[in-house]
Each structure stands twice: as C-alpha cells, then as structure tokens.
C-alpha cells in the first residue's frame, strides 16, 4: 500500500514538472518550432526597441513566421531584421512591417500589413516600408522636455 502511494506521488510530481517545462517553453516562444518550409524576407528598422530573435511575425494577429536574426548594417546605420515566413502564407510586395508590443509592456513582435501589389514577396525580398518600435522612455522624455520648454517660454513659474 505504501509503495503504491509513493509511486502515485512520484507520478504526480513528474506531471507537475512536465507542465512547468511546457509553460516555460510556451512563454519563451520555443514550442512553435514547426520546422516547415519558410521563405526569408529582410526589413530594415531605425530602432528595434528590444525586439529579439524568435519573436513572432504576425499578419492580422495570426503568427505567420518568426524573426530569424537581427544585426546592425554599418552601411545603412540601421538594424537588419531577417524574417522567416511560412511558405503557405503569401504577402504582396508592397507589404509594410512595424514593430508592435503585446499589451502595454508585453513582448515585441513584427506586424505585417499587406499592400495591394499583385506580385507576392519571394525569398530574400526586402520590405521597404517599415515603422520602428515605439520606445516608452523616448515618449516620456519628449513629453517632459516639451513641458520644460513651455514653462521656460512662459516666463517661469505661474
């Protein structure tokens, strides 16, 4: 009887550890390594604002790919982001890409907005219309800086 209880408790603990492992992989975006065929698209951004490799690439809110790599192009002085898009998903050549955030302080991802060009993006094509990440610190500092300018122009304290 005691041996049966020990085995059941051991199985319960093992299932709990497997559940924690699954959640850890889900949170870190490692569970969706489909391994299916993809095609690569390059996009250049002025500021990636914390975007990381393996971040989601979404079209209409649906994950259609992943960020493969991020590096700095010292000729353009921009971040070069390589996107792997699932082969079953086609976007027009004039698609635009922007770096978005899930929620207020959530993870960064690439959002693709399709254009109207009848020709689809192909392997190693470049997305020319991009919008960089909105960096919260820059917005706050710009607000504070503009507020200080307004007070100094009005003659100081009221």
Number of CB atoms found within 10 A of residue 118's CB: 7
Beta bridge partners of 130: 97
* Statement to judge: residues 10 and 55 lie in one domain: no
Asked whether residue 71 falls in the same domain as residue 90, the answer is yes
Q: Does 125 lie in the same domain as 97?
A: yes
pLDDT (0 to 100) of residue 158: 46
Q: Is residue 127 part of a domain?
A: yes
Contact status, residue 78 vs residue 65, Cβ threshold 8 Å: no
Residues 110 and 126 in one domain: yes
Domain membership flag for residue 3: yes
The answer to whether residues 79 and 121 belong to one domain is yes
Domain count, the chain: 2
Q: Would you say residue 104 lies in a domain?
A: yes
The reported pLDDT for the residue numbered 67 is 94
Do 78 and 94 lie in one domain? The reply is: yes
- Is residue 25, in this structure, part of any structural domain at all? yes
Per-residue model confidence (pLDDT) at position 103 = 75
Average pLDDT per run of 10 along the chain, which is 158 residues long?
A: 91 92 72 72 92 92 93 94 93 93 82 92 92 78 71 49
Strand partners, 83: 41, 67
The answer to whether residues 14 and 87 belong to one domain is: no
Determine contact, residues 150/156, Cβ cutoff 8 Å: no
DSSP reduced 3-state for 11: helix
Q: Is 158 domain-assigned?
A: no
Q: Are residues 23 and 95 in the same domain?
A: no
Would you state the pLDDT for residue 145?
Answer: 79
Helices and strands (H and E) in the chain: how many: 2, 8
Determine the pLDDT at residue 144. Answer: 83
25 is in which domain, residue-wise? 1-31
Kindly state whether residues 71 and 136 are assigned to the same domain: yes
Based on the domain organization, do 25 and 43 belong to the same domain? no
């Amino acid at each position: 009887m005691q041996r049966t209880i020990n085995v059941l408790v051991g199985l319960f603990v093992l299932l709990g550890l497997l559940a924690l492992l699954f959640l850890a992989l889900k949170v870190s975006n490692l569970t969706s390594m489909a391994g299916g065929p993809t095609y690569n698209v390059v996009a250049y951004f002025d500021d990636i604002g914390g975007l990381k490799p393996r971040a989601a690439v979404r079209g209409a809110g649906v994950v259609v790919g992943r960020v493969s790599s991020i590096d700095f192009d010292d000729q353009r002085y921009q971040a070069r982001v390589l996107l792997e898009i699932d082969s079953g998903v086609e976007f027009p050549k004039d698609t635009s890409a922007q770096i978005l955030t899930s929620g207020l302080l959530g993870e960064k991802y690439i959002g693709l907005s399709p254009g109207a060009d009848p020709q689809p993006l192909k392997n190693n094509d470049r997305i020319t219309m991009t919008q960089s990440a909105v960096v919260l610190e820059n917005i706050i500092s710009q607000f504070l800086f503009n507020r200080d300018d307004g007070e100094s122009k009005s003659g100081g304290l009221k």
